[in-house]
Chain A
Amino acid sequence: MTARVIMKLRVFMARHTTADVLHLTLTHPIRPELPEWTAGAHVDLRLQDGRIRQYSLCGDPSDRSKYEIAVKLEALGRGGSKWIHENLKEGAIAHVSAPRNNLPISAAAERHILVAGGIGITPFLSMAKTFKSQGKNFIRPYCALAPQRAPLFSSLLDICGPRLQCWFSNSGPRFKPELIGHYSPTTHVYVCGPERLLDSVKTHLADWPEEQVHGEIFQATLDENFKAEPFEVTIASSGQRLVVPADKSLLDVLRESGWALPSSCGLGLCGSCECSYRDGVVIHRDKVLPISRRQDRMMPCVSRARVAVTLDL
């Protein structure tokens, strides 16, 4: 768990890069410099009702005066992007956390392959800028519907030049994971986009060491086979017992009883709400906690327990 400060940033610029992608430039109303970040980082953006959405920073990490994010309007989404498109006009105030990086550039790699799909391009804009400024070797396949619908396409073309390889899914050959090429111990692959893209690349690279394949998704996991069951939680420090009904998360129940646990995505992706447990069988449903730490750590936003669990709170 890492606590991050939340800032009230001003929307300095809001413009559409495609019909459904809003590019926001955010500045601090008082401080000249924002907290530093590295390529691949994301911020949490708070909606009015307290829900949180995560967006990769797509600007230049060396420019501390502003943050840039690109928000795709998800017509069938959970309402967050719609609220942002309707409310975050120029001059509005956005509640934004300091950045966190779950998709950092590997210092060990000599060659970097970036695979982006759709709005998943955003972290790669900052990564491509970093690679270019460091003179690093990188290539990037890119999948999108069509050039005019590809968000921030021209910005990326400016940075990458001929290095940019595109596979537009409505014309010509489609991107295939085979294009990534043969295994090399100094090549790292980064994937960002829809879950099916991540899955197809990870499946294709199943023989590669886990630490050489990096991916990030910002969407809920739909696990139709999972049926939540109620369970009981005991707070180790006080002995307090709480019941988590089937239709509520452990995090919700903890909050209702007054525990202000940090949390962010509510989807088991960001790792903010991580806490320790003992004496229980936990059903881990998050996508962030490494297997090696699941024996005594859990993400209460999505993970549950069989019958009962004791939390180290």
Chain B
Amino acid sequence: MNFHASSKPLPKMVEAFDHPAGSVALSKRGGASGWRGKLLHIHIAPSASYEMEELSEAECVAGRGIVGDRYYFGSGTYSPKPDVREVTLIEQEALDALSRNDPPLQDGPIVLEPCDHRRNLTVIGVPLNHLVGRRFRVGEIILRGGRLNFPCKYLEELLGKPVYLPLYNRSGLNCGIERGGIIRPGDTVELLEQ
């Protein structure tokens, strides 16, 4: 049974370095370098609102996204709006901070599992907020940081947890795929030359 057959047009993606945020950052120097991080988890959801499913490897297609994901199919909640949504990443460090209620913006700790946050890739040791307008590799694929991710009320409703405020400014990174390929948990994440 195919519940996700889509007759929708292909999603309109904005090239990461054409995005207003990415294009400005591209011309600015700076940001953290010399770090080396790791891909922990890969998740996709077949359609808007569906639970995320963990993958042991994923095929990434340049200009499209992760095969099987809602933004690859154009069936995501925000698919009608042209944007940088081929791949989204979030830092494990941000999730860890939430689980410690740091900073104490809500009643108590919020445990956000990798399958709950609805970003595709959970990474550790990767300073995502420094990667707008930057190229970096995840295993064999090359990503371009297009814009910072922004928390949405939709996620709060879906999870029934007050994550909007605590995710502010550490909600992750929306990327375009410059070079596609296969990625797996454990892959190295590294900054590349511009």
Q: Which residues of A contact B (CB under 8 A)?
A: 1-8, 35, 46, 48, 50, 87, 93, 95, 97, 257-260, 262
* B47: chain A residues within 8 A (beta carbon): 6
The answer to whether A6 and B79 touch across the interface, beta carbons within 8 angstroms, is: no
CB distance from B76 to the nearest CB of A (A): 7
Contacts A/B (CB < 8 Å), 18 sampled: A1-B157, A3-B49, A3-B157, A3-B158, A4-B49, A4-B157, A5-B49, A5-B51, A7-B51, A46-B3, A48-B2, A50-B3, A93-B1, A95-B50, A97-B49, A258-B79, A260-B76, A262-B48
* B80: chain A residues within 8 A (beta carbon): 257-260
The answer to whether A260 and B3 touch across the interface, beta carbons within 8 angstroms, is: no
How many angstroms between the C-alpha atoms of A159 and B1 in the bound complex? 38
How many angstroms between the C-alpha atoms of A258 and B3 in the bound complex? 19
Please encode chain B, from 41 to 79, with 1 for each CB lying within 8 Å of some chain A CB and 0 for all others. 000000111110000000000000000000000011111
Q: Which residues of B contact A (CB under 8 A)?
A: 1-3, 8-9, 47-51, 75-80, 154, 157-160
Closest to A313 in B: B80
* B79: chain A residues within 8 A (beta carbon): 258, 260
Closest to B12 in A: A258
* B75: chain A residues within 8 A (beta carbon): 260
| Inter-chain pairs besides A3-B157, A258-B79, 5 sampled, C-beta below 8 Å | A1-B157, A6-B49, A87-B1, A260-B78, A262-B77
CB distance from B113 to the nearest CB of A (A): 10
- Chain A facing B: main interface SS: loop
* B76: chain A residues within 8 A (beta carbon): 260
The answer to whether A260 and B48 touch across the interface, beta carbons within 8 angstroms, is: yes
CB distance from B72 to the nearest CB of A (A): 15
The answer to whether B48 and A48 touch across the interface, beta carbons within 8 angstroms, is: no
* B1: chain A residues within 8 A (beta carbon): 48, 87, 93
The answer to whether B158 and A5 touch across the interface, beta carbons within 8 angstroms, is: yes
* A7: chain B residues within 8 A (beta carbon): 50-51
How many angstroms between the C-alpha atoms of A87 and B80 in the bound complex? 32
The answer to whether A4 and B51 touch across the interface, beta carbons within 8 angstroms, is: no
The answer to whether A95 and B3 touch across the interface, beta carbons within 8 angstroms, is: yes
CB distance from A294 to the nearest CB of B (A): 22
The answer to whether A262 and B160 touch across the interface, beta carbons within 8 angstroms, is: no
Closest to B47 in A: A6
* A1: chain B residues within 8 A (beta carbon): 157
* B159: chain A residues within 8 A (beta carbon): 5
The answer to whether B50 and A35 touch across the interface, beta carbons within 8 angstroms, is: no
The answer to whether B158 and A8 touch across the interface, beta carbons within 8 angstroms, is: no
* B158: chain A residues within 8 A (beta carbon): 3-5
How many angstroms between the C-alpha atoms of A46 and B4 in the bound complex? 11
Closest to B153 in A: A3
Given contact pairs A259-B80, A260-B76, A6 touches B51 in the complex (Cβ within 8 A)? yes
The answer to whether A2 and B157 touch across the interface, beta carbons within 8 angstroms, is: yes
* A2: chain B residues within 8 A (beta carbon): 157
10 closest Cβ contacts across the A-B interface?
A258-B80, A3-B157, A3-B158, A6-B50, A6-B49, A7-B51, A5-B158, A48-B1, A2-B157, A3-B154
* A50: chain B residues within 8 A (beta carbon): 3
* A6: chain B residues within 8 A (beta carbon): 47, 49-51
* B78: chain A residues within 8 A (beta carbon): 260
